[in-house]
Structure 1
């Protein structure tokens, strides 16, 4: 049996760090209010010379270095982003070129904050189907470019960054939960909630980029139930219980959502990876950035059971259970 296992991981952040105190001079808010409501203390904001492509390429190079591989070893690049450099071509193709790769294929996946989970699931299918041996999966965003900096309900939440993993096909596995790699993937969407979290522009409608708009209370109301449902589906599909989980790596949108989800799932606080305080909500980059932090600081080790989850505009939501 073929399993899709992570063999390399990398991340990249913009040079500029923005503290909550800086936002006090832009909109009517305070550090105390932001921390209490969201858990966010800072975020990184892309400079003029930093883009989704440049950040994604940097994270990709770091993942290749971590794996001890070169672009010659990669068959496919899948980029999860809602903030591409251009309407077309896909920013994944631009990253492919930036890496000096002219073979294989590259494309974007757009599921907003769930994008990385959806991209990982897509890569898993390519690997299990024999269409690729190694897939570079990237989540990269420059959400600061689509924020309304006069809207204090949204501009305090988001940041920029990128994370990447390399998934490789590992053959001759047992087909049991002891296998290394992805054990279960679940993803969902429901377009009835489009107007709860969206960007009010686009090439086919306004011919503008638009700005992010969100009904925060509505998102919170649905988030915990949707997140826990797909996580429970991963547990049910494998027969693994929440108590067996070593690490829970959630989408870093809001600490209150993370805490409520972990509590409902019965996952102990010390097993939850939290980076929202440092990065803010980086959309599709959120999960791989958090994953990279926990791997690099030594928390996530070989053999650990790790649950990834995310929920984003659409609504879209998904979860992946991995044996590290």
Structure 2
């Protein structure tokens, strides 16, 4: 039986490491607010990596992560059947960002390219869609999947929610067909679009900005309940697990959205999970948007919490909002 496995996974982040102290002092000075409790106890932040130069961006970070994972897998880019690039802060609208990766990696003429944007759920959606594409296409064997967000580029220095929360990171993984009893298991989506206009960039849409009726500057983040998706997430995760004849305790690692440690704790309690099943890296990297759950997996592999043969559940939420959960046997 043909399965789809994660052959290798790698990541890249800029060198500039910024601690909570910078943001606490920034907002004390600018607004008189002390964000210590918010950052440490609700968001679970400590440090994050932020681009501090004009050379790095989502594409350059993606290229570096891709080079690392190809080297780790001992592969040439010419052995790839497709390159998929996921970002909510793409460097280009024209051309695709994936074609920039294709060029930098010297991939082959028969390597397909594709950009996707599902906001923060983008890379997890890419994991699902790439796996299903590989299963369906007998002529495809291997996909390079890259997620990268230079989120700091569009976060408002006056906004206490976004500015101190996000970090800049790229994650790259190689998906390939195998006859091993491992890999992609199943996925599930849930979309509730009533809040589609709460977080926008450009604020009033691209057309109005280009016609001079707005300014493309920072993400607009209007108030909405921070735990709005947790109840639905609990239901969909339980359904996904049970329809695959598993229990919540059969899942070795839960690699969830790293937006807030508080949300992860709510899901832990709702699902009756143990602390050791939850992988949290938002204290180290901040919230990295599209890469968030796969970054958690990378760290879990690095520190030995996730090993070959372990069943992993990915879950995250994109603004609007769109939920996705994916079951995978690593």
Bigger Cα displacement from structure 2, 94-103 vs 210-219: 210-219
Bigger Cα displacement from structure 2, 270-279 vs 27-36: 27-36
Matched, 1:42 2:47: yes
2:184, 2:328 within 8 Å by CA — same for their partners in 1? yes
Residue 161 and residue 215 in structure 1: after superposition, are their counterparts in 2 closer, same or farther (change >3 A)? Answer: same
Task: State the distance in 1 between where 2:252 and 2:223 align.
Answer: 30
Aligned length: 317
* Residues 222-248 of structure 1 deviation map (CA, whole Å, 9 limit, x = unaligned): 221232233223212311110111111
**Within 5 A, what are the aligned runs for 1:1-324?**
1-28=1-28, 29-47=34-52, 48-103=54-109, 104-130=111-137, 131-171=139-179, 179-199=181-201, 200-207=203-210, 208-215=215-222, 217-220=224-227, 222-324=228-330
Q: Give 1:201 shift.
A: 4.6
Task: State the distance in 2 between where 1:228 and 1:84 align.
Answer: 31
- What RMSD, in angstroms, separates the aligned Cα atoms of the two structures? 1.7
Residue 88 and residue 229 in structure 1: after superposition, are their counterparts in 2 closer, same or farther (change >3 A)? Answer: farther
Task: State the distance in 1 between where 2:209 and 2:226 align.
Answer: 25
* Residues 131-150 of structure 1 deviation map (CA, whole Å, 9 limit, x = unaligned): 52111111100110111111
TM-score norm. by structure 2 comes to 0.91
Say which SS state the counterpart of residue 132 (structure 1) adopts.
coil
Matched residue, 1:176: none
Say which SS state the counterpart of residue 155 (structure 1) adopts.
coil
5+ residue gaps, structure 2, are 29-33
5+ residue gaps, structure 1, are 174-178
Bigger Cα displacement from structure 2, 28-37 vs 159-168: 28-37
Say which SS state the counterpart of residue 25 (structure 1) adopts.
helix
Task: State the distance in 1 between where 2:76 and 2:243 align.
Answer: 35
Residue 43 and residue 115 in structure 1: after superposition, are their counterparts in 2 closer, same or farther (change >3 A)? Answer: same
Task: State the distance in 2 between where 1:309 and 1:168 align.
Answer: 22
Task: State the distance in 2 between where 1:163 and 1:302 align.
Answer: 19
* Residues 34-90 of structure 1 deviation map (CA, whole Å, 9 limit, x = unaligned): 112211111111132211011111111121122222212211111110000112222
**Aligned structure 1 segments of 4 or more residues deviating by more than 4 angstroms:** none
Higher-Rg structure is 2
